[in-house]
Chain A
C-alpha cells in the first residue's frame, strides 16, 4: 500500500495582476513548490492542472518555462474546485502507483476576463436568467436567516474573522485593514443579505503542490484522505440549502477514509467565497449541527486562537478567489500550518488539517464538484516552533 504524501507547496502573490503573464504567476508557484519539496524539476513525472478559464493551452505555456517535457499532463475543470480536483487526481495516481512525483498546478487570472462579479454563463438556465453567484449564495443565506434565525451580525462575523486573519498573509489580496461588524454590514449591498465585504474578490493567482509516495522526509505531510464528488440533483425534494449536500458527501467519504471525526481536526481551510458559504460548509463537515454553524465564528471557536481555527489564511474573503488557484492556495496554507511555519498566522494545535473546496453554478445541481482532503504530520505531533 502506497501512502501518498504532500512533499511541497508554492504560491504566487494573489491579487489583481493584469500586468503579469499568467504563466509567470504559475512559474512563481511551481518554483516555490519544487524548492519546498527539495526536488529537481526533472523528478516530476506527471502534471495535473486545475483551471476554469485557462486560457486554453496555459499548461503547455507554463511547460515552456519549466522544462519537464513529454510527461503525462492534463487540465481539469470543476469550477471553484478545479485546483483541488487536480490535486485529488494526483493523490489517486500516487496511491495507485501510476506516478512517483506529481506536480499539481491551480491557476486563473480573472482580472483579464471580468470587471467585477463573474458574468453568469449564458448556456445555463439560471445564468441566462441573470442569477449571479452572490445571488445564489444570497438565496441560501436568506433561507438561513428565515429558517434558523441566523442574524446579519453572525454572517458579518465570518468576514471580520477571515479578513483579520488575512492581514497577516503577505500573499493575500486584501490586507489594508480589518473591518468591524458594522463596516461589513454597512458596505454596499450585493444581494440581500450579502454585502460587498461578505463576497470574496475575484483575483489572479497560482498555487502548486507536489505529491508523491513516502520518501523519509520529516516535513512531508501524510495525506490521510482525499475525496472528490461531483454534483447531484438539488431540487424541490431537498431540505438542504444549495451546496450543503455535495460538501456533506465529500466529507463523509474523507472522514471514513481517514478514520477520523470532525472534532479531531485542528485547523481548516474551507470555501468561504461568501460568508454564508463558511457557515453551511462547517455544518456539512460536521463541526456544527444544521442551523448552528453561524455560532462558530461569534463564539470564537473558529478564530485563529480558537479550538478549531477556520481559514487562518484569511480564506477566499481575504486571499481573493482565482477559481482554479483557490484549492492549491488552501493546501499551501494547511501545509504551512501543519509544519509550524505559518509565522504570524500560526495556530496553536496543528497536527491534523482539512481542506474543503466546493465549486458550483450549474442550475439544479447541488454543486459542480467538492473535494475534501485531510492531512497530518507524520508522527502525530506538532512540528516546528510556533
Chain B
C-alpha cells in the first residue's frame, strides 16, 4: 500500500450516520455516509441533527442519543465494504451526504479516493457550497455528483436557507464544464418556497444551460424529520406545511420538462 492510501485511511472526520441499502441516492444499491456539519440552515431540513458540526444530544424515542462520532476512513470503509456483493451486482458503492460533505474537505476526499481505488463507485450528495478549489480536488475521484439547486432567486434562497445561492450556481457551472463526473441536479420541492411551475421552470432552464447534466430530479418535500426537531429541542417552523400531492408533482414535472432542454426529468431520487 502506498503512502497516500495509508494516510487516507487514517484521515479522521465527523459523521452522524451510515445508512446501508440506499437505492434513491445514486446508481444501484449504495451505502450513504452522512457527514456532520452544514453551511445552510434549510427550514425543511429532514436531518436537522446534521447541521451543526458539534457533537450533540438528541432525544430519540424518549432516550438521549449522542449525535456525531469521530471516525477514521478505515473505520467507515469497514462498514462500506460489507455490501460489496450488492455493489458488484448493481454498480453501487459509496455515497457521501450530510450536512454538506464539503465542510470536511480532507475527510471527504480521503473517503472518495479510498473507495474509488478499491473499485467502488462513488457519489456525492451536496449543495456545492464551498470554494471551487475544494470541489476540483475531489472531482477526479467522483463518479456521480448529485447537486442540489433549490431556488434561482438569491433573496428567497437566503430567506429559506440562510445563504444566498450565487456561489452554488457558479460551482454548478464549473462542475458541469469539468466533464469529470456524471452530474445530476436535485430539487427539493418545498411548498411555499419553490413549488410553483415558474420557479421549477427557472431551475430547469438553468439546468438546460449546464453541460453534461444527466438528470433532473424533483424530490417531493416530506415531513419525516419533524420529530427530530423536538428531539433537539428546536422549533420546526414548517409544521403546517403539507407534502405536495401526486397531481401537483406531475404538474411540476411537466414544467421541468418544458424547460430542461432534453435533460431527463423525474420525480424522486
> Do A and B interact with each other, yes or no?
no
